[in-house]
Structure 1
């Protein structure tokens, strides 16, 4: 089969060979060449910012990540506030329980000591008559020491200012030897535990003479 002149088969047809001279210096003039259109396009692609080459869907990724981090920080702050509030409530509860326990202990001790006050009164009366000697003296000293260790304190001494909150005036006298109401005699000792008064001291109160009053 003959082939017409000027036509070739696909196997015989060849693509034209293109040779590009990428040298930036002209070898003849030794001057820098001006970049052609292809070089300018390549340079533009190289100098283009990454943001311009980023796909539209990729721009939303940092925004979504920032929103998620802000949400996590808000949840962390909320959980931290809840934990701090729970800790404060627990500390208040623990303090309240401790305070209640101390109050119950003081009440129990006060009840026990209040029941022993008649024993102490009997010892005081025997001491006034000189009957606390020998074994009775040793027993009274041990008893008073143990009660003092539990917090029992005597109230009322001769010569101290009269205080209606701690003293009970049984008798009253007027004398110019004092300048204010004073406990001049102790009739029965009072006792307290801490700030709780078990009973007031019974005393004789001596006051200075007032206007128009004469001491007798």
Structure 2
């Protein structure tokens, strides 16, 4: 009988040690995943910080290209730099004619245009940049909206609001 009780104690101890080992193994796996995720995040943040510092240089290269000053050895260096930053994941965005999105565009100028149906980027003043889905710098743009009353002209007719709003520069809530 004492032998059976001793065997039960050993089995209980074995199952406790097995459960402890399984818990430790699960904790270690979680730790490894967390360290790998943090390592990737640190790498992405470091790349984004470096590339953010290079944006003024890329802007200067773009201006030189626009003015026909990107020639000779400077052209080769500029193209090499653009290739390197593209390999690091930097993507330029912002095109004329695309719909304005306040999440990725910063409107610096505003106008009305009869040929647009929604708020549209009509001029890219400074391109935006992103790495993956993370926006490093929004595109700085000039936007145009449809002419006031052009799409809803019939809805406000006869209210007298259109003329007073335009004379005062828009509706005044004050």
Q: What's the secondary structure of 2:98's corresponding residue?
A: coil
Note the residue ranges of structure 2 that are not aligned, 5 or more in a row: 154-161, 163-174
Quote the Cα distance in structure 2 between the aligned partners of 1:159 and 1:75: 72
Deviation sequence 1:152-191 (CA, Å, 0-9, x none): 1112122222111111001112224222222121110111
Name 1:107's counterpart in structure 2: 45
- Show the counterpart of 2:147: 209
The answer to whether the aligner puts 1:117 opposite 2:58 as a matched pair is no
Matched, 1:89 2:27: yes
Residue 78 in 1 paired to residue 16 in 2?
A: yes
1:69 and 2:10 matched: no
Give the TM-score taking structure 1 as reference length. 0.64
Query: Partners in 2 of 1:65 and 1:182 — Cα distance?
Result: 86
Partner of 1:192: 130
Q: Specify the alignment match of 2:73 in structure 1.
A: 135
What's 2:101 paired with?
A: 163
Name the CA distance, whole Å, in 2 between partners of 1:64 and 1:178: 92
Instruction: Report the Cα distance in structure 2 between the residues aligned to 1:85 and 1:208, rounded to whole angstroms.
Output: 63
- Give the aligned partner of residue 33 of structure 1: none
The SS at the match of 1:136 is helix
Task: Give the secondary structure class of the aligned counterpart of 1:173.
Answer: strand
For 1:147, the equivalent position in structure 2 comes to 85
Secondary structure of the residue aligned to 1:132 is coil
The 3 A distance-change label for structure 1 pair 176 and 68 is farther
- Which structure's relative contact order is higher, taking Cα pairs within 8 Å and 6+ residues apart? 2
Which whole-Å deviations, capped at 9, do the CAs of 1:26-50 have from their partners, x for residues lacking one?
Answer: xxxxxxxxxxxxxxxxxxxxxxxxx
> By how many angstroms is 1:143 displaced?
0.8
Across the aligned residues of Structure 1 and Structure 2, the Cα RMSD in angstroms comes to: 2.0
Secondary structure (helix, strand or coil) at the match of 1:83 reads helix
Give, in angstroms, the shift of residue 210 of structure 1. Answer: 4.3
Greater Rg over alpha carbons, structure: 1
Moved more, 174-183 or 164-173: 174-183
Q: Structure 1: give runs of 5+ residues left out of the alignment.
A: 1-62
1:36-71 deviation line (CA, Å, top 9, x unaligned):
xxxxxxxxxxxxxxxxxxxxxxxxxxx444333332
Counterparts of 1:64 and 1:176, CA distance in 2: 98
